[in-house]
């Protein structure tokens, strides 16, 4: 599907509004979104979306979150170039958590690691599983 | 490592308290925990933990959440038998989200589906990817 400028669109506006109406946002108007690399299955990060972030993600096919610290839309990769291209948008039984299957460019984590979940507990303490990418 | 009754323990108490001190709980005293089947990479569900749930999970090696609806500890599988055996406990860069690598017995979802993320958006609406297990 293409919009009037010829750019591809991920989903038509009418369906996007149906999905937004079905999702359950918390008292702050946010819903958690877990992202997973679509082919490897690697869980990359967890961030939050508001209705505008969901709308933009589903319209453009590029993942947009809501930054709680900056209180504005956070187009993932807007400064780093490490964008997340949306492959599939899923949500859970209670419609209060999103699972994004994506294709990640570069590092998902702001520490420049491939994913954010690099702390692992071991019998003698916490280890870091990865180092920042070169 | 085994406790005094001979049952295996996942982690020693001293390390558990170090980890709890490192984790960032929200204003309600909770932290989101995403669970992933350790071998297939399937993302199963997202639920919440408080300090006691983290403590019990790391001590026993069986996943325990905090049920927000019931306001009590929720030992996953306590009624259904669909327990989650902990394989690895990881957390993210900001220490405010947990990723549990687990071995799931039976269905992870309360709808008796293998995982909770069975809603998928398509250009003509939302589809269900799986049906409840027989």
CA distances from B95 to A19, A109, B24 (A): 30, 13, 6
pLDDT tens-digit profile of B59-91? 999 999 999 999 999 999 999 999 999 999 999
Please, are residues B95 and B79 in contact by the beta-carbon 8 Å criterion?
no
Contact check, Cβ <8 Å, B116/A110: no
| Min Cα–Cα distance to chain B from A5, Å | 19
At B8, the pLDDT band (50, 70, 90 cuts) reads low
pLDDT at residue number B3? 45
User: What residues of A are in contact with residue B126 (Cβ under 8 Å)?
Assistant: 18-19, 22
pLDDT tens digit sequence for A94-130: 999 999 999 999 999 999 999 999 999 999 999 999 9
Residues in chain A within 8 Å Cβ distance of B121: 11, 15, 19, 58, 88-90
Contact A36, A102 (CB under 8 A): yes
**Rounded mean pLDDT of chain B?**
94
Tokens of A64: 């947009």
pLDDT digits (tens, 9 = 90+) for B33-59: 999 999 999 999 999 999 999 999 999
Find the closest chain B residue to A17 by CA distance.
B125
The ipTM estimated for the assembled molecules is 0.93
- As a dihedral over the C-alpha atoms of residue B111, residue B115, residue B118, residue B120, rounded to 10 degrees, the angle is 160
Kindly report the nearest CA distance between residue B48 and chain A, in angstroms: 12
Q: Is the pLDDT of residue B14 over 70?
A: yes
To test the contact with chain B by mutation, choose from A40, A65, A92 the residue with the greatest count of B C-beta atoms within 10 A, namely A92
Contacting residues of B for A19, CB less than 8 Å apart: 121, 126
Are the beta carbons of B118 and B109 closer than 8 angstroms?
yes
The candidate with the shortest Cα–Cα distance to B53, out of B62, B44, B42, is B62
Helix/strand/coil for B53: helix
Q: Which residue of A has its CA nearest to B120?
A: A90
pLDDT of residue B9: 73
pLDDT tens-digit map of A34-82: 999 999 999 999 999 999 999 999 999 999 999 999 999 999 999 999 9
Instruction: Write out chain B residues lying below 8 Å of A109, CB-based.
Output: 92-93
Is residue A2 scored above 50 in pLDDT?
Answer: no
């Amino acid at each position: 599907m293409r919009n009037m400028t010829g750019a591809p669109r991920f989903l038509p506006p009418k369906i996007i509004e149906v999905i937004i109406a079905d999702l359950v946002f918390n008292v702050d108007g946010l819903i958690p979104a877990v992202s997973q690399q679509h082919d490897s299955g690697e869980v990359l990060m967890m961030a939050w979306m508001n209705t505008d972030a969901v709308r933009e993600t589903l319209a453009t096919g590029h993942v947009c979150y809501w930054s709680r610290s900056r209180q504005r839309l956070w187009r993932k990769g807007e400064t780093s170039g490490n964008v997340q291209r949306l492959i599939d948008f899923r949500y859970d039984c209670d419609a209060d958590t999103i699972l994004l299957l994506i294709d990640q460019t570069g590092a998902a984590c702001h520490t420049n690691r491939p994913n954010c979940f690099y702390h692992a507990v071991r019998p003698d303490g916490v280890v870091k599983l990865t180092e920042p990418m070169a």
